[in-house]
Structure 1
Amino acid sequence: MVAVLGLTATQGSHTDAASPRIHLDRLPAAAPDESGRRSSEGHLRCAFRSISGRPPVGSLSINMPQMLSIDIRWRQCQSSGLERNQPMTEELRSPRPPTIHDVARQAGVSSQTVTRYVRGFEGIRPVTRQRVQAAIDDLGWKPNPLARALRLGTPTRIVLFVHEIEEAGPSNIIAAATRAAAEAGFVLDVVPLDVNDLSVSAAAIRDVDLSHVAGAMAFAPTHVLADLFDRVELPVPLLREVNGDGIEGEHAQGSVDPGMLLVVDHLHELGHRDVFVINGPEGWYSSAKRRRAVEERCAAHGMRVVGAETGDWSVASGYEAAAAVPAAATAVIAANDEMALGALAAVWENGRSVPGELSVTGFDDIRIAPYARPGLTTVHVDFRASGQLAIQRLLQMIAPGAAERRPKVLPVPPRLVVRGSTARAAT
């Protein structure tokens, strides 16, 4: 019987009273173990010792590069006793990812044949192609484009200049872009910019290491950063944000934000006619587009903007802005979720019920939006698609032919998510 264990390796010796421990003793590289075997890699002999005082249940010989204390939490253990210094079995080893050589061995061909098949070489017999594909499917092998690029000495890096990486939008776009870049064989290097200090941003752009860089992307959410990138000359393709499009392209470069149009339409359907607006900071393209959308759509519906304040995207600024909400307003439209959450808190403290007396809306659909009390009605933005689209557009600039062969990523339009913070206007 084989003991099936869940192992957690730590550098320290911490454990809890319920956890048995493996005690590791390092032996010299060429020292024989108790069965007379030698190891050229350095040898670790370990015995299971129980904190509760029970005798050891056995021992294992494990090749490892350094001393570790390993806490063991048993998931399943079917143990009839492991023989002392028993070599680690296949069941206890971490599975090694399959390689091209494993595919070749299983298909009965050379690794060169597998390489030619993967690259689309036509001069391979159909029966051989079937065997290679069957081996790939069976083993779950995936070619590593990054490793191939490193062998050939081709550029492997993409640089992303981005602002406020701790915020929901940029952080989610970065995560999606990182995955999309890796799938295409690139590593994404993130260079933070300071939207409030042009000199810091200019220095970050000037000092970036461009060795092995295939292309660059730049978020320029403000007029100041856009002007800075107007003066930047890079020796690689540069994909820039234009008019607050999130690097998605022409479909997102309009003068009004389509998501905010959905918000105003929703409030109008609920009977709201007088709204208060908490805008984003001046100088941001997204602020201007969302403000313009509210103003134009309200005018088209015969609704009034009875007051407005400017925030800085933060919860605190939304809280402060909500102090100016007049009694005539039946709804508050915030330019992002964080300011909307701040407004919810302020409105509650001022004794007005949401949504009974006042409806509140946000924008972005951040992770905590559903868990506000009440849940926040907002506009969902697919940041994952934005990151994938950005990489797709840059790859088209770097290598048009190769980009065309990759799966096409389509834009995902914003959508309204209705929750408990909006209701029919009080009469």
Structure 2
Amino acid sequence: MSDDAERGRAPNIRDVARLAGVSHQTVSRVLNNHPSIRDSTRDRVLAVMDEVNYRPNRAARALVTSRSRTIGVLASQRSQYGPASMIQAIENASKDAGYLVSTANLPDVSDASIVAAVEHLLAQSVDGIVVIAPQVRVFRAIEELQVRVPFIAVQSGGDLDDHSIGVDQVAGGRLATRHLIELGHRNIYHLAGPQDWIEAEARMHGFLAEMSAQDVPTTAPILGDWTADFGYRAGIELMRVRDFTAIFSSNDQMALGLIHAIRDEGYDVPRDVSIVGFDDIPEAPHFWPPLTTVRQDFDELGRRCVARLLGNLEVDAVGYRGTIEPELIVRKSTGRPAF
């Protein structure tokens, strides 16, 4: 290394080449896994990289290869369990594939915020974008922007097009509702999520479809906001009426609030009211009683999103299609109605 390097300059590709006794073009081929490099040469170059703690300059490599090996993630509502879990899964899958992730979080779902977030990702020369935004208007705005890099939308429910992948939320809603009907419940309420969320709409459609298929009378779903506080307030109001024996909650947090309210009113779950949630958050087995819920495989969703995106970027990548089926996890919060 030169005196400048010894005084703190990070080693570059030419330093590695000199120490390994090869050309800088050879080092570049090693970095890009070129098949023409002999194993002994590759091993020698990698050993020098490790010795001097060399880290490839991704910006420089992008200029040469026109690829940054960075995936952009456009996210909304990161604080919610579902979007947060999907971001983590995509980061893990991207890392396994040798890609970095740059995330742009939407402060709101206005057109200006969406445009600014997409432009922020494109300014970083991302190779592709995964959109995790559960509101319908975000996807409409993305389509109008006519993004030129490949993108995949985590789209839940409904028919998926070539730019989307997701968990079948309608099927999950039907699973939860069918479970309650098969236990003998006929007076079932649905505590839905916010009206502008795709997942909430799909789960509600699943509930209504299964109730109709089983010829069970329905009441209008109650629109919530995903929080345990709303579930608690709704539970207090519902227990004053008590014209039901079961509730399908569109997520586990609202289910937690419902259980709290039912117990505060002097009733028992599941003896007086059965509760089914959705998501299977890590705390769900530790509710009292442990929560029956619908599980989404976020790890698999992340893997498929990245694989599908890379299918548009790399010739030998596998691009998955179709939806991921959810799974009903039966615990102690559901039982037969006490007639």
| TM-score normalised by length of structure 1 | 0.62
Bigger helix share: 2
Higher RCO (CA < 8 A, seq sep 6+) = 2
Whether contact under 8 Å (1:261, 1:293) holds in the other structure is yes
Q: How many Å separate the matches in 1 of 2:226 and 2:309?
A: 29
Pick closer, same or farther for the CA change 1:248–1:381 going to 2, 3 Å: farther
For the pair 1:173 / 2:51, whether they are aligned, the reply is no
> Are positions 1:403 and 2:310 aligned together?
no
Paired residue for 1:370?
A: 285
Whichever of the two has the greater Rg, that structure is 1
2:44 matched residue in structure 1: none
C-alpha displacement of 1:388: 1.2
SS at match of 1:264: helix
Aligned: 1:357 with 2:269: no
Shift of 1:402: 3.2
Question: Kindly tell me: are residues 179 and 147 of structure 1, through their superposed partners in 2, closer, same or farther at Cα, counting changes over 3 Å?
Answer: farther
Count of aligned residue pairs for this structure pair: 303
- Contact 2:293–2:330 (Cα < 8 Å) also in 1: yes
Paired amino acid for 1:301: Q
What runs of 5+ residues in structure 2 fail to find an aligned partner?
1-5, 8-15, 21-25, 42-49
1:2-151 equivalent positions in 2, closer than 5 A? 119-120=34-35, 147=56
Q: Is the 2:291–2:331 Cα contact (8 Å) retained in structure 1?
A: yes
Gaps of 5+ in 1: 1-39, 42-99, 105-110, 133-140
SS at match of 1:376: coil
1:332 pairs with 2:247: yes
- Alpha-carbon shift at residue 376 of structure 1 (Å): 0.7
Structure 1 contact 272–331 (Cα < 8 Å) conserved:
yes
SS state of the match for residue 213, structure 1? coil
1:150-229 → structure 2 map (5 Å cutoff): 152-153=61-62, 154-195=67-108, 197-208=110-121, 210-229=123-142
The structure-2 alpha-carbon separation of the partners of 1:182 and 1:167, relative to structure 1 and needing over 3 Å to count, comes to same
- Once the 2 structures are TM-superposed, how far is the Cα of residue 392 of structure 1 from its aligned partner? 0.9
| Residue in structure 2 matched with residue 280 of structure 1 by the alignment | 193
**Aligned with 1:263 (options 155, 176, 182):** 176
Aligned counterpart, 1:348: 263
Is the 8 Å Cα contact of residues 357 and 426 (structure 1) preserved in structure 2?
A: yes
Cα root mean square deviation, aligned: 3.6
Residue type of the alignment partner of 1:263: A
CA distance in 1, matches of 2:167, 2:296: 15
For 1:115-146, what per-residue CA distance to the aligned partner results, in whole angstroms no more than 9, with x for missing partners?
Answer: 59x6555x98xxxx8x99xxxxxxxx9xxxx9
Give the secondary structure class of the aligned counterpart of 1:319.
Answer: helix
Whether 1:379 and 2:291 are equivalent positions in the alignment is no
Identical-residue share of aligned pairs (%): 27
Q: CA deviation at 1:306?
A: 3.9
Structure (1/2) with the larger strand percentage: 1
Kindly provide the amino acid, as one letter, of the partner of residue 335 in structure 2.
A
Normalising by structure 2, we get a TM-score of 0.76
Q: Distance in 2 between matches of 1:314 and 1:323?
A: 15
Alpha-carbon contact 1:241-1:247 (below 8 Å) kept: no
Give the partner amino acid of 1:340: A
